[in-house]
C-alpha cells in the first residue's frame, strides 16, 4: 500500500510538471563545474550556463518516465560549442520541494546537478 501511495504521488508530481519559477545552482561532469540559471514556465525550461560556456538554450517538455520529466533541447540562440552539443538532446528533471535535479549528456559526457528555487 505504501508503494502504491508513493507511485501515485510521484505520478501526480510528474503530471503537473516542474513547478514554474527561477532556479539556480551548478552542474558537474565530475571534473568540471558550471553555474546554471533556469527559468521554468509553460512546460519548458530555459537554461543559461555560466563561464566558461556562457550560452543559453531552451528545452520543451516531451514526456514523463521513471527517470523524471524529459525535455528536448532546441537550437541555441547564441551559439557556443557546449550548448550546440546539447541541441536536440534530452534533459531529465526530477523535483523535490524547492529543488530540481537536472541531468543531460553533452559531447558524450554526463552532466548533473541540483538547482534551488
- Coil, helix or strand at residue 23: strand
Going residue by residue through the chain, which has 117 residues, state the pLDDT in tens, using 9 for 90 and above.
443 333 334 344 444 578 899 999 999 999 999 999 999 998 999 999 999 999 999 999 999 988 899 999 999 998 899 999 999 999 999 998 999 999 999 989 999 999 999
Per the rule left: phi > 0, alpha: psi between -120 and 50, beta: everything else, 43 is left
pLDDT at 52: 95
Q: Which domains are present in the chain? A: 2-116 (2.40.160)
The reported pLDDT for the residue numbered 4 is: 37
Quote the pLDDT of residue 37: 98
- Is residue 89 within 8 A of residue 73, CB to CB? The reply is yes
Amino acid at each position: 500500500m505504501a508503494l502504491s501511495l508513493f507511485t501515485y504521488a510521484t505520478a501526480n508530481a510528474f503530471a503537473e510538471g516542474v513547478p514554474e519559477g527561477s532556479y539556480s545552482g551548478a552542474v558537474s561532469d565530475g571534473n568540471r563545474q558550471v553555474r546554471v540559471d533556469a527559468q521554468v514556465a509553460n512546460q519548458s525550461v530555459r537554461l543559461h550556463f555560466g563561464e566558461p560556456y556562457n550560452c543559453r538554450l531552451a528545452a520543451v517538455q516531451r514526456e514523463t518516465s521513471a527517470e523524471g520529466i524529459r525535455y528536448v533541447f532546441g537550437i541555441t540562440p547564441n551559439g557556443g560549442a557546449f550548448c550546440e552539443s546539447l541541441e536536440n538532446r534530452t534533459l531529465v528533471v526530477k523535483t523535490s520541494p524547492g529543488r530540481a535535479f537536472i541531468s543531460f549528456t553533452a559531447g558524450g559526457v554526463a552532466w548533473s546537478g541540483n538547482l534551488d528555487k
